[in-house]
Structure 1
């Protein structure tokens, strides 16, 4: 059931954090390119984001301050998201309903997880929708695909694949059996994946599907399996095999083979990716899947049905229509994680070509959790050749950041396949389910630990591989389930909390987050050194003593020391197209559409270029800057030029036409000077176009015979003056 935002609750002021964007609706450039040239009645699938959105950062901060339980976080976030949607979607819904009646809208669906509509409509209706005052932006509904496994080349000889491997070598590598020996195997934890589906009859998985393993699902299999493609939510199935393999790595176990990291966990699944025979599915299916995962039973007051973890072995590339740093999926991931779901993505199998989206995101230390593939069959644990490498520029200021975040076994991984069998696949698709399983073990060890704290502990306890520290191949290294779980077992004790001023205090992790600090699990302040602040020079020339990690504003630059010991570059002249000038930093200048002249250069010394003559047409001249001239479709004649004789028609001093007794019309075009000498012009003589050359400052031609009045006009250049010759 749906829930509106509970404005009457005591914490009503904190329940619905809303961000409102002031701009009018816009069509995304990618969609505009698709629409251009299409007939007005052609139908497209689009996604329309509304202006008002929940501020998930503020909502999470509020929950940290309250020391909220996982259930409280879930209720708070879902009620807020649904409340904003319920109170703001009415006008757009009415517009779309009218569109259905008028034939311009084929179908639409309202979505609350990020306040949007998924719409199938004609081009003409989409343009109207984008102009609606409640709409922020409209995007094309692009295709997405799973990260297809790599061929298993030169695989080790594992003998008869029907002989159970207990446990698999990848599980041993990440020390999962050592965690099981502690009595922690994922019991009581619900895991999930978003993939091609799962074979619910597989012996390693069937007893763990929540739809049959948990009596609370009785009569409601749709709470445990979501099929946006076929609408068959009654029982999990998988015609592809990819989703069955990845889920097996998360939680597969007896009576099947020991293939899963968290064999005690129950699972649910969404199946929006590459359904049946490689049929590509759309962003719309993924959006609906994220929404389902955030609240499977439709009741925000319950969270037993909400998975603790979710792995995604899919991604998109530029070839799918998504440029680097595309933000399409960011907000859905943020909503799920704000509600308490640990979300992880495979980095991609593109090697040095870079990460897929959204795994390339690095807007914080924790978003988005991207997983590399490591060969656990080799005792040296080399990074897989296909595993996507960093860096990424998807940061708040566009600077490079290290990606991926962490590694896991992803080469020759044995797991479940549809039909009850097992098989080996390679890819980062096989690596991210290991992270899913480790997160499940951590959540059992500490049920209310936050998503960001789970990631931090995972990174801190990883086995460092490759270059010392974090690197663009392994991230922080191979995940270590035993160390991660051991660290969070006591995560409700006070630990070292590092603050922005470099100070440290031993406090509870939730209090550390609420105060803006960063916990160091397993350590006291006397055992660590917190990062110290330094001088952060901003684009506008000001300075602040802050941590390097917080010096992320566009154009900022951090250095050791303090602001008193550094000279920050100062703003300079920023010249605009209209000839005006402002003192700005280089980033602010670029964002404002200007040209930066250099730090410390004044507007008086910059000598900004001034506007000049712009021939908007052959017959019309305006004084504009070059950018404004091009935007008007004109031809810019140079800075500081005047409109005097600047455009082609201005150079025509006189047009004469005279008809002789034979009916032939003699035309003379006189030019103001010889600047057009040798050029060709076209003259229309009563519908007949004649091309002639300019000799010196004149062009002459004879056409005919005609009778009666004969209108004559120069058409190239396109001039408006017309004369008439009278023929017998």
Structure 2
């Protein structure tokens, strides 16, 4: 087993606040205990009712502060502890606190604190024993088509002991990388392989740190696990357990030019592993928020996000919990973008028109899915958050991949995502399909663009990325694809172009 971070310095503070709470995970008591004050002697109403804690399941929450500063955040931390909660992590800079509590009326009790804007449970199932003790966990099962999973992996092992060759020697499997030729990466490499000054954070399931095609480019100091909601930088914490997803993504971005295996889009840039996926395959909000904040703090220029945040495929404004979580994640994303980070995200694999949502029956995926209206105020996050570069998937023929989500004014750009050869666990190589595979092509091109233009801001990089894309028209007679040749619902601004990025 990997080393585990068993606690956070503040993770138990609220549990000794003098309030007796039952932490039994099966107890779901949702009715608050309310003590009413009697009217005073003049017949006037007494003080407002006082809500008392009620034992319930152990849950995690995002708590949004009205103003993003240290003083207001401290007020909220004290209110969390008074309500029988523990502070897992605080982000003064965005006004978000991650908390844990087994008080069934935790949200209601925090509502009286003026410094609290909103509170939302990050899941519908109780926090598992592993999560509660902040354990290391990670997995990506390919069976759910709605998730951003890799599919159809075929692995071929390589000798991890082979020494890197000089960069003029082609890597053995480059001729199988149709995707690199499709976006002009092979021609771009004749000009540059990218700069070591550029860092791409792979927010995913971890990266095999000693993979022979990745070891030279993995930035160990910038890597961490965010599974608990708190960044753990120990090496073992961010290593994958049984999923190749993050390792595959990392190879597409930055597999080294070393005479071994394959070559990434930007084979000389650095990548960091920011692990956010637990053993059940879930990416919960507290992990994703930690991921964006850690990537920003460690100097990432680009992040790749090949996932949607669980347990809701679409987070809706008309639900108090979902709205609060959506706000918290958006604060982290907007903060990172203001710091110059380009956030690239996969559009999803459900073959849905994201511009015309109707109903969803796929979530919550951690308990029992429900059928609900998602036509207004509902978003796939992080893909549909403002400023995020949302990527659809294409095939080797240039068509939209059949699984790829689409949508006018939602899809920003397209990239290869079907049958992509890249690095996998056990120092091997395998092919996978998904918008998960398309997104890292765009992240890699953004890294090349940053290498060529180091002074460009994140916003400028994004604008140039779009302007340089190769226009792809809608297929003839396909009504689902709307828009113009220059910008449509299948391909956005067009197919990403690596050669133009370095020219």
For normalisation by structure 2, the TM-score amounts to 0.69
Instruction: Encode CA deviations 1:254-276: one digit per residue, 9 max, x unaligned.
Output: 44322310110111121012x23
Asked if 1 retains the 8 angstrom alpha-carbon contact of 2:213 and 2:261, the reply is yes
Partner Cα distance (2:240, 2:88) in 1? 27
The aligned counterpart of 1:250 is 253
Higher strand share: 1
Q: Does the CA-based 8 Å contact 1:195-1:312 persist in structure 2?
A: yes
**Counterpart Cα distance in 2 of 1:362 and 1:314:** 13
> What residue in structure 2 maps to residue 435 of structure 1?
442
Contact 1:317–1:324 (CA<8 Å) still a contact in 2? no
C-alpha change, 1:310 and 1:49, in structure 2 (3 Å) is same
Q: Cα–Cα, structure 1 residues 35 and 52, in superposed 2: closer, same or farther, change >3 Å?
A: farther
The equivalences for 1:191-590 within 5 A come to: 191-211=200-220, 221=221, 223-229=222-228, 231=232, 233-235=234-236, 236-239=238-241, 240-255=243-258, 256-273=260-277, 275-276=278-279, 278-296=280-298, 306-316=299-309, 319-320=312-313, 322-323=315-316, 327-328=326-327, 329-354=329-354, 357-358=380-381, 361=384, 363=386, 367-375=387-395, 377-378=396-397, 381-391=398-408, 402-467=409-474, 468-486=485-503
Residues in 1 aligned to 2:314 and 2:385: alpha-carbon distance in whole angstroms = 20
Shift of residue 246, structure 1, vs aligned partner? 0.3
**2:94 corresponds to:** 114
Q: Indicate conservation of the 8 Å contact 1:142/1:320, yes or no.
A: no
| Matched-pair contact (CA < 8 Å) for 1:354–1:389 | yes
CA distance in 2, matches of 1:203, 1:249: 14
In the superposition, relative to structure 1, how do residues 308 and 150 fare at CA in structure 2: closer, same or farther (>3 Å)?
A: closer
Contact 1:317/1:323, CA 8 A, preserved across alignment = no
Structure 1 Cα separation of the partners of residues 333 and 202 of structure 2: 13
Separation of aligned partners in 1, 2:407 and 2:444: 24
1:185 CA displacement: 2.4
Give me the whole-angstrom Cα distance separating, in 2, the residues matched to 1:150 and 1:197. 14
Distance in structure 1 (CA, Å) of the matches to 2:423 and 2:104: 45
**Structure 1 counterpart of 2:174:** 166
Partners of 1:438 and 1:316 lie apart in 2 by: 24
- Matching of residues 73-222 of structure 1 within 5 Å: 84=69, 86-99=70-83, 104-121=84-101, 122-142=103-123, 147-149=147-149, 151-152=151-152, 164-166=172-174, 168-211=177-220, 221=221
**How many angstroms does 1:321 deviate by?**
6.3
Contact 1:226 1:292 in 2 (8 A): no
Q: What do the CA deviations read for 1:685-724 (whole angstroms, capped 9, x no partner)?
A: xxxxxxxxxxxxxxxxxxxxxxxxxxxxxxxxxxxxxxxx
Q: How far 1:247 sits from its partner (Å)?
A: 0.6
Q: Secondary structure at the match of 1:170?
A: helix
State the superposition RMSD in angstroms.
2.9
Superposition deviation, residue 231 in structure 1: 4.2
Q: For residues 613-647 of structure 1, what are the alpha-carbon distances to aligned partners after superposition, in whole Å with 9 as ceiling and x for unaligned?
A: xxxxxxxxxxxxxxxxxxxxxxxxxxxxxxxxxxx
Q: Helix, strand or coil: the match of 2:78?
A: helix
2:191 is paired with a residue whose SS is coil
Aligned to 2:65: 50
Q: Is 1:41 the counterpart of 2:58 in the alignment?
A: no
CA distance in 2, matches of 1:109, 1:362: 23
Matches of 2:65 and 2:418 in 1, distance apart? 43
CA distance in 2, matches of 1:252, 1:374: 21
CA distance in 1, matches of 2:312, 2:65: 27
Q: Is the 8 A contact 1:174 1:479 kept in 2?
A: yes
**How big is each residue's C-alpha offset from its partner over 1:373-407, in whole Å with a ceiling of 9 and x where there is no partner?**
011x22xx11101110113xxxxxxxxxx221100
Q: Is the contact between residue 48 and residue 138 of structure 1 (CA under 8 Å) also seen in structure 2?
A: yes
Give the match's secondary structure for 1:315. coil
Gaps of 5+ in 2: 1-27, 34-53, 126-138, 141-146, 159-170, 356-378, 475-484
Asked which structure has the greater RCO (Cα within 8 Å, sep 6+), the reply is: 2
Distance 1:35 1:416, change over 3 A: farther
- Deviations, residues 626-685 of structure 1 (Å, cap 9, x unaligned): xxxxxxxxxxxxxxxxxxxxxxxxxxxxxxxxxxxxxxxxxxxxxxxxxxxxxxxxxxxx
Instruction: Measure, in 2, the Cα distance between the counterparts of 1:425 and 1:113.
Output: 38
Count of aligned positions:
377
How far has the Cα of 1:335 moved from its partner? 0.7
Shift in Å, 1:279: 4.1
SS in 1 for 2:352: helix
TM-score norm. by structure 1 comes to 0.48
Residue 455 (structure 1) shift: 1.5
